[in-house]
Amino acid sequence: MALVKSPLLSVEARGTTAGVTFTTTYAGAVAKAKPHPAGSLMGVRPRRRSIMGYLSRLWGSLSNAERQSWRDWASDHPGINKFGDPFIMSGINAFIMLNHHAIRLFGFGSENDLPPVDPPVSAIEVLSAAKGIGLAGDIDLTWTELGAGIEADTWEIQIAGPFQSEGRVEVLSRFAYVAKVAGNVLLDTISGLDVGFWYWFRARYVALDGQISAWDYAQQTPYEGGV
């Protein structure tokens, strides 16, 4: 159990109790609630490993012609690394990447032995986040698209937070899946968030064949409730 130094109601209180950390900064005494993730990662990593293992075995069962088709697709569709530079994936990497997206969002049975022929029919243009108008803890997300999404595809939404204050840039390492909606829908409400904290969101279009658009980002603090 953490020890709080100095009386709890004192301006010199320091330490953590009941999930609240008391510190003293140049601005004075500060009490901060411990942030917690919006969703648990329990079960995510084992499922990811299961998908990767399944796809690795599936790659081994493909014919030479099917494998070559993935190599050709990868050569024609360079990826972008974390520094923003293009690179050419291997055939197996392209196969696993697209099919992992497909299985993760649409389930087993959506994987493909051959690469896509056509590009995705839509991509996100601008993602916007606003305080909800329903329940306390709601944030309403809306977005515009480049193209025309179809019901069989999906929009994937991820969340990072809660954070103590508004941020200047996205926290890429903190994002986790939170929701998906049909590809012909352009809005969603994220509920049950902590009032008084800030959240980052990102969204992208994911085709049934696993092809993805670029992410777009927005941040907002939830509706506080009341009139």
Task: Enumerate domains of the chain plus CATH numbers.
Answer: 1-34 (no CATH), 44-106 (no CATH), 122-220 (2.60.40.10)
Contact 148, 122 (CB under 8 A): yes
pLDDT of residue 102: 96
Closest CA to 192 of 145, 136, 127: 136
pLDDT value at residue 26:
46
Which letter does DSSP use for residue 14 in this model? B
Q: Which of 37, 40, 39 is nearest to 161 (CA)?
A: 37
- For the chain, the first-to-last Cα distance in angstroms comes to 40
Alpha-carbon dihedral 159, 103, 205, 133, rounded to 10 degrees: -40
pLDDT by residue for the chain (227 residues), tens only, comes to 444 455 445 555 555 555 555 555 444 555 555 444 444 444 557 778 889 999 999 999 999 999 999 999 999 998 887 788 888 999 999 999 999 999 999 999 999 999 999 999 999 999 999 999 889 999 999 999 999 999 999 999 999 999 998 887 767 778 999 999 999 999 999 999 999 999 999 999 999 999 999 999 999 999 998 65
Confidence (pLDDT) at 41: 42
Res 114: pLDDT: 96
Specify whether the CB–CB gap between 102 and 174 falls below 8 A: no
